[in-house]
Amino acid sequence: MKNHDSKCAHYIRKISQGKIDPPALTGDFSTRQLIDEVFLSYNSGRLREACRIFSDKMLEKDTVIGLSLSGALTPAGLGMSCLVPLIEAGFVDWIVSTGANIYHDAHFALGMDLHQSRPGLDDHQLKAHQVIRIYDIVFDYENLLGTDLFFRKLSRGKAFQKSMGTAEFHHLAGKYLSVQEEKAGRQGKSFLCAAYRCGVPVFTSSPGDSSIGMNLAALDLEGNGLKLDPLVDVNQSAAIVYAAKKGGRSAVVILGGGSPKNFILQTEPQIQEVLGLDEKGHDYFLQFTDARPDTGGLSGATPQEAMTWGKVDEAQLPDTVTCYLDSTVALPLLTQYAMQKTKPRKLRRLMDQLPELMAKMKKEYLKRRQKARPE
């Protein structure tokens, strides 16, 4: 029995990350103290791991951080409360978002209001009063019409009469939206404007799947010259990651799932499998989700499964976390923790570097193709 106790104690010491012995909460704790000292187990424990990896490892100077956004996050105010500070602090270097998050983000820059309410409202009454509902968020139907008008007028402009990727489109849109944001006295309310100011590329993996895409489709019927090219996005996002791994590390933070999740992760298979360039996968991987792998909602995207696709470097699996938690809870805590623990980083301004990054990756790809046998 004595030998058993000794072996047991030795093994527990080996796997222990500390005793379960949190302090009593007094109301005086900072967010960082709360997460470090009280978030010990279950998904609070995973959130603590995520916060520490993000602040202690991902925010090193040599790591390029990509963020994917899905779910209705900007209508809930998370653009202004979290994304703008993260962008301005240099804590996010590039973004993949649903078009819907960008569209609803524009409401705030255009001087439009959204309101907190509650679930369970009478939707027949809301419809009769021309009120739009997103769960417990409500706003005037005119917000949609006004935002539609902004994107249609914008996209008829001379600067937009060409084929381009969504990063370039959003950068141009952010430029003009920033003017409207300042006029409305709402600077700092739009993450797309912050991304423009800070040179952060913002991609949309499914550009037709939002009100922005719907309005651009209407303009196409008029013969407008704007064409969004998703193939440009595939190559530009891969070029960002390829360059990041040449000079340092690549990290991804995934909020929710959907197309943005896959798009940000597919950069590595694009580099390795399709382009045939030497690479091993993202170094750091944080994911906040309420999906499950056994129902198909998370299949291929847990860190372990993603490793088999080459999306994550298998040697870096200890630096990966999946936290089964609502993004509207996780993102503010992650943001505040990082702000309290880490100094701002120098802005990387990847948007300005995209032509150079693309040229370098293209050169490497064509060089490999010349050496390979004809396919």
Positions marked active-site: 311
Decide if 177 contacts 67 (C-beta within 8 A): no
Amino acid at 149: L
Amino acid at 230: P
User: Distance (Å, rounded) from C-alpha 6 to C-alpha 13?
Assistant: 11
Name residues whose C-beta falls within 8 Å of residue 187's C-beta, 6 or more positions apart in sequence. 178, 181, 193
Dihedral angle over CA of 102, 103, 104, 107, nearest 10: 110
Helix (H, G, I), strand (E, B) or coil at 309: coil
**Would you call 45 exposed, middle or buried from its count of C-beta atoms within 10 A (0-12, 13-18, 19+)?**
middle
Distances (CA, A) of 166 to 227, 233, 240, 373: 10, 7, 15, 34
User: Distance (Å, rounded) from C-alpha 82 to C-alpha 6?
Assistant: 48
Comparing CA positions, the residue from 332, 330, 327 lying closest to residue 72 is: 327
Scan for tokens 């891969």, then name that residue. 238
